[in-house]
């Protein structure tokens, strides 16, 4: 039996049925937003007032203004995402508020989508689909939508060899790709078993046919990939970004795709989400997805359940299962 929940838990979105059932088992009061896509800023600032726990989305900005609105009762902010660049973790720590995320439960789903983008961009799947739908007459010909051979020795460069980066590497290994990655403290034995070579970023960019980003968004990684890095990647190369939009200078990317500096890009995330740079929308050699990396049904349930479990634990006076360390 857990200690009765102290204070109200507010969920900034309408949770799935399974997550809702979990919320109903909590001993304390729970309030939930009505919309699965979340709340407006004004609604959230109002509803978080006096809450002891907040379960939120990556689209919710948790900053000093929100913490002030919540007041001294707030003890935990549980993000339903592994990335936590939407949360001022230092400001939370200064007020004794625990921040948690959802690591591990979305690795396979996100790597699946990154690999789908790798294949779609390399083999020009979306471009070719649009061509068939256009009704233009065609017949088999040797030069129709020729792209990059993925499983005949192409090199994948992984920037950010953590949980999702390693899951991406496992897929690339099954496709017989050569795999290189930027140095990482967390890679360990699995990286060695997968035969991953470690290279500094400039060497990785020059070496790789496909560069896939899996690092977090931090002050150091903002615009990690700009005009110079795209030039280093070179013509015919492919960039995949399922990490966070601001890691790539989107204007520089649009220019590089337009003038052939690189061959193609697959993007699940954008610099100023949900806005997309208008030049990207006009280009055929970029695949654009609306931030659906972790959007597997079971994965989304696992993310919500882990976020709720983090909130439940802190409210019951237990350690959070997956805390973010400031
Ligand atoms: P993780 O396990 O913490 O891995 C991140 C890796 O990036 C770590 O190996 C880290 O190295 C490395 N890194 C940090 N700074 C770097 C830099 N400047 N250059 C190169 N590598 C750097 O995180 P994860 O669970 O794999 O998630 C990665 C990111 O994916 C999240 O932060 C999130 O933004 C994004 N994501 C997106 C979606 C989506 O829907 N599109 C879904 C899930 C996650 P160390 O080990 O040395 O610290």
Q: Which residue among 57, 59, 82, 204 is best mutated to probe the pocket of ligand 1, counting the most ligand atoms within 8 A of its Cβ? A: 82
Q: Where are the alpha helices (DSSP H) in the chain?
A: 17-24, 41-47, 64-70, 89-94, 107-122, 125-133, 163-174, 188-193, 201-207, 227-233, 250-258, 278-281, 297-315
Q: 43 CA to middle of ligand 1, Å?
A: 31
Residue 209: which H helix or E strand, with range? none
Q: Which residue has the tokens 């634990």?
A: 313
User: What is d(CA 166, CA 233) in angstroms, rounded to the nearest whole number?
Assistant: 21
What are the CA-CA distances from residue 8 to residues 31, 101, 163, 281 (Å)?
Answer: 7, 20, 33, 43
What are the CA-CA distances from residue 223 to residues 161, 208, 219, 320 (Å)?
Answer: 18, 19, 9, 32
What are the CA-CA distances from residue 151 to residues 108, 155, 262, 286 (Å)?
Answer: 20, 9, 20, 21
Which residues participate in catalysis according to the annotation?
244, 273, 291
User: What is d(CA 73, CA 7) in angstroms, rounded to the nearest whole number?
Assistant: 8
User: What is d(CA 16, CA 14) in angstroms, rounded to the nearest whole number?
Assistant: 7
**DSSP per-residue string spanning 108-174:** HHHHHHHHHHHHHHHTTHHHHHHHHHTT------TTTT----STTT-EEEEES-SHHHHHHHHHHHH
CATH 3.40.920.10 fits 9-105+297-315, yes or no: no
Which 3 state secondary structure label does DSSP give 66?
helix
Note whether 77 and 97 are within 8 A (CB): yes
Q: Which residues of the chain have pLDDT under 70?
A: 1-5
Closest CA relative to residue 58, chosen from 215, 293, 311: 293
User: What is d(CA 160, CA 223) in angstroms, rounded to the nearest whole number?
Assistant: 14
Specify the pLDDT at position 138.
98
Query: Helices 297-315 and 17-24 meet at what angle, rounded to 10?
Result: 20
Closest CA relative to residue 55, chosen from 10, 16, 98: 10
Give this prediction's pTM. 0.97
**DSSP per-residue string spanning 245-270:** GGGB-HHHHHHHHHTTSSSEEEES--
User: What is d(CA 25, CA 320) in angstroms, rounded to the nearest whole number?
Assistant: 18
List the structure tokens of 210. Answer: 């496909």
CATH no., domain 107-288: 3.40.50.720
Q: 83 CA to middle of ligand 1, Å?
A: 8
User: Where does ligand 1 bind, in terms of residues with CB under 6 Å?
Assistant: 82-83, 103, 106, 110, 159-165, 182, 184-186, 214-217, 220-221, 242-244, 268-269, 291, 293-294
Q: 301 CA to middle of ligand 1, Å?
A: 21
Ramachandran quadrant class, 202 (left: phi over 0; alpha: psi -120 to 50; beta: rest): alpha
Torsional sign, CA 49, 53, 56, 62: positive
Please list the residue range(s) of the chain that carry CATH number 3.40.50.720. 9-105+297-315, 107-288
Specify the pLDDT at position 6.
73
64-111 per-position pLDDT tens digit: 999 999 999 999 999 999 999 999 999 999 999 999 999 999 999 999
239-252 per-position pLDDT tens digit: 999 999 999 999 99
Specify the pLDDT at position 1.
39
Q: Running DSSP on this structure, what letter comes out for residue 44? A: H
């Amino acid at each position: 039996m857990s200690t009765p929940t102290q204070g109200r838990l507010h969920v900034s979105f309408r949770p799935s049925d399974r997550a809702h059932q979990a919320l109903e088992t909590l001993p304390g009061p729970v309030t939930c937003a009505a919309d699965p896509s979340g709340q407006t800023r004004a609604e959230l600032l109002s509803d978080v007032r006096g809450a002891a726990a907040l379960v939120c989305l990556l689209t919710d900005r948790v900053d000093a203004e929100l913490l002030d609105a919540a007041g001294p009762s707030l003890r935990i902010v549980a993000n339903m995402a592994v990335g936590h660049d939407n949360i001022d973790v230092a400001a939370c720590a200064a007020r004794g508020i625990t921040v948690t995320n959802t690591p591990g439960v979305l690795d396979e789903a996100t790597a699946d989508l990154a690999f789908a983008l790798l294949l779609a961009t390399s083999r020009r799947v979306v471009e070719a689909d649009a061509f068939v739908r256009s009704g233009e007459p065609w017949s088999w010909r040797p030069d129709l939508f020729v792209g990059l051979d993925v499983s005949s020795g192409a090199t994948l460069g992984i920037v950010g060899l953590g949980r999702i980066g390693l899951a991406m590497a496992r897929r690339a290994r099954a496709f017989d790709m050569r795999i290189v990655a930027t140095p990482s403290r967390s890679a360990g034995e699995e990286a060695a078993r997968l035969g991953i070579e470690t290279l500094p970023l400039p060497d990785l960019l020059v070496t790789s046919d496909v560069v896939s980003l899996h690092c977090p968004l931090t002050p150091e990684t903002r615009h990690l990939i700009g005009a110079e890095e795209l030039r280093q990647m070179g013509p015919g190369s492919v960039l995949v970004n399922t990490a966070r939009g601001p890691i790539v200078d989107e204007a520089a990317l649009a220019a590089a795709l337009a003038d052939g500096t690189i061959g193609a890009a697959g993007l699940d995330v954008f610099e100023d989400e949900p806005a997309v740079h208008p030049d990207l929308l006009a280009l055929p050699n970029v695949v654009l997805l609306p931030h659906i990396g972790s959007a597997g049904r079971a994965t989304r349930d696992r993310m919500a359940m882990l976020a709720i479990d983090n909130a439940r634990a802190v409210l019951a006076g237990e350690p959070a299962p997956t805390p973010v360390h400031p």
